[in-house]
Amino acid sequence: MAGGTVRAVVGSSGGDKTMTGNRVLVVDDEQGILGFVSRALKAEGMRVDVASDGPDGLRMALHGSYDVVILDLLMPGLDGLHVLDRLVHRKPGLAVIVLSCLADTASKVRCLEMGAVDFLGKPFALEELLARVNARIRDRAPADRYPLRTRKVALDPVRQEARVGSRLVPLTRRESMLLAELVEHAGVPVSKQRLLSTVWGYYFTPTTNVLDVYVRRLRGKLGADTIATVRGVGYGIDLD
């Protein structure tokens, strides 16, 4: 939301430098906030991506592997409350810090009750934001290496690696994304159109059989009975 300001702090926050390599996504429609915050996070040794509207932020958060998402509320395309709601339901373990000029008590309570791990109002002190990000990362450590799992298969989307019993199976990026979508909806059939749009970005029914090819690849790597074909719908993975 334009009009948000930062109480600038010169130099490092003095945060925990052992956090090097953690990934943070900053979603805000104000370019000044994006630039200032991303530079500060990178100075802390973190890898940072940015999005300037709700739809891009949601897509990146769902498809990427982030330790923390810093989320504005008032944005074009899709407001932060809708983004937060979808992230909480699709990636319940993802730490979302709301950063907004809507800093009234009702807004804070609503976001925290929806599943945000923290809320910081604008204007804000950069040192405080960095401290809160580092605190959320510490809360997640040691992170579950396989956050997506059923009884038969577990997936590490960061390393793009699946575990079947005691066997570790390396995956390609698309294979990992496809398996993640199926595991996240384990027990429920997932339509071909949804898989094509989520994994490949096709928002129409293409003539290619790329989805069927990748399902065959995953079955070959994980076991023929891992992914079930649901006639007339798409594919699915059992919870058990």
| Rounded Cα–Cα distance for residues 195 and 43 (Å) | 37
Largest CA distance in the chain: 60
Q: What's domain 6-140's architecture?
A: 3-Layer(aba) Sandwich (3.40)
CATH number belonging to the domain at 148-236, selected among 3.40.1010.10, 3.40.50.300, 1.25.40.10, 1.10.10.10: 1.10.10.10
What number is the average pLDDT over the span 85-89? Answer: 91
Q: What is the pLDDT of residue 118?
A: 96
Q: What is the pLDDT of residue 206?
A: 64
DSSP 143: P
Tell me which residue of 45, 228, 39 sits closest to 150, measured CA to CA.
Answer: 228
Residue 173 has pLDDT above 60, yes or no: yes
Tell me which residue of 144, 230, 231, 232 sits closest to 187, measured CA to CA.
Answer: 230
Q: Are 13 and 40 in contact (CB under 8 A)?
A: yes
pLDDT in tens, 195-232: 998 898 887 666 778 999 999 999 999 999 999 999 98
Q: What is the pLDDT of residue 31?
A: 95
Q: Burial-class residue 67 by CB neighbours within 10 Å (0-12, 13-18, 19+).
A: buried
What number is the average pLDDT over the span 135-156? Answer: 76
pLDDT in tens, 181-203: 999 899 999 999 999 988 988 87
Q: What is the pLDDT of residue 15?
A: 37
